[in-house]
Structures are given as C-alpha cells and as structure tokens.
Amino acid sequence: MSERILGIDAGNTRVKWGVNIDNAWLHCGAVATVDISRQTQLRDLLKVQDVDRVVVSNVAGLAVARAITELVHASGKVADFVAACARQCGVVNSYDEPSRLGCDRWAALIAAHIAAPALQRPQLVVMAGTALTIDTLTADGHFLGGVIMPGAGLMRSALKNATAQLPLPQGIYRAFPTNTDDAITTGTIEACAGAIARQYAQVTNKVGSSPHCIASGGGMQELAAHLPFPISINDNLVLDGLLAIARSRNPAPQDC
C-alpha cells in the first residue's frame, strides 16, 4: 500500500490539510488559524486515518505549532515541521540566510520546480494570502529572491484601522471608482496585481525570457483577472511541496 502522508499548511489566517494517497490529496479540510487548538475535524481525521507520516509548514507562531504538535501526538504520530535550507529537492536557496526563508515559500518553490521540469523557463511563484509573496525561480531551480507585501485584505484592514473615516470596504473593482468602497477595493487589487506584473517584467528583463506564473492562496481569486499574462493556479502548492520534502526525507533530510 502507498505511504499515506498528512500535510498541514498553517498560515496566518487558515490551517489547511490533506492526506496524500497515490499522489492525490484526500480528506482535505481547513480551519481558521485562531481555532486550531479547539477544533475537532483534524483530530477526528487523525483517529480514523492510518497516516504514516505528518509533515507541517507553520508560519503562524509557537502557539499554533504547539497546538498541532499536541493534536498529532495524541494520535501516536510525530509532526515533522519543515524549514528552509540551502538545497533540497532540486531547488537552491539564494537567501542571505537560507533558514530564514519562510517554510511555506520554500515548500511552494519546491512544488513549482517539481511540477514543471520540462518548461525550461523561469517561474514566478505567487502566494496570495494574508501577505502576498512573489518569488523568482530559474529554470534550473535556483531561487533568486522575492518580495513580501501586504495582501489586498490586509491593506483594507490597515486602512480601516489607521483612518477615522474609511470603512472596511464591500466594493467591487472598477476602472474609475466613484465611491469609497469601490475605490479601496480597486486600489488594493491594483497594488497587488501591479506588484506581480512588475516582478514579471523584472524577471523577463533579467533572464531574457518571460516566466511561467504559478499561484496559490485565497487572494488569487480576485487578482487573477487583473494580470496581463496567463497564470496557473494550484491551491495545494504548499501541500505539494510538503509531500516532496517528506519523500526526500526517506530516510534522511537532504543537504539541510
């Protein structure tokens, strides 16, 4: 029987998980990160499923790490928390301090590299969650660097919290907004889409060919239509990277 690997992607807003069996993500679920310590769905899944290994990406802090550790430990398993390193699964990390790269970004880069071995093109790896990250990966797997900025939702919350009269908008995108809600919604979409497009142009100028753009995260739903180039959406990008890392650690981590 194929190895059953439970991947857990703990982000700032949501904790998402899935059990991979024969390269398919099954028994998937998600919960608000603030509710992880008192939710039952993942606990029940661990009781029912015969999981061989548990691999975790956590960028949500120590309290969330403890909650996940306790949930997994109660099922008799050990949670393997991943961290970025200098080289893994064919990806070379060019961060000044490789271990300081976010583990979710690292997993996404690995997944993007493994998913597109025949492209022979650089890749722009975009994750649109609470934060928006835009990372560049060469065709041969070198991570050149990337940018981090607030996601559109976080921008809107910041405007509401830092100003006396601006609301948390319920607006829509319009080329020329004529009310405040639409102006904020449009402005935050333009900021994020513009940053992605600018990085796309930077990559094209640096390597001489346009990148393949692969994206993940709940925020991509409203951004995708405003990008002037095609993108591939993979909602399980981090989970796919976790799967690759888990398999590479059989029997031991690589070059970390």
Q: What b-and-e string marks burial along 223-254, b requiring 16 or more CB atoms within 10 Å of the CB?
A: bbeebeeebeebebbbbbbbbbbbebbeeeee
Q: Which of 50, 80, 104, 240 is catalytic?
A: 104
How far is the CA of 200 from the CAs of 37, 70, 138, 197, 225, in angstroms?
A: 39, 41, 13, 5, 16
From edge to edge, which strands make up the β-sheet containing 212-216? 87-88, 91-93, 142-150, 131-137, 123-128, 212-216, 231-233
Whether residue 104 lies in the annotated active site: yes
Please list, in sequence order, all residues whose beta carbon lies within 8 angstroms of the beta carbon of residue 51, skipping any fewer than 6 positions away.
4, 5, 6, 19, 75, 77
Torsion angle (degrees, nearest 10) of CA 31, 82, 20, 217: 50
Q: Return the DSSP state at 119.
A: -
| Distance between CA atoms of residues 211 and 135, nearest Å | 11
| Distance between CA atoms of residues 64 and 37, nearest Å | 7
| Distance between CA atoms of residues 135 and 124, nearest Å | 6
- Catalytic sites, residue numbers: 104
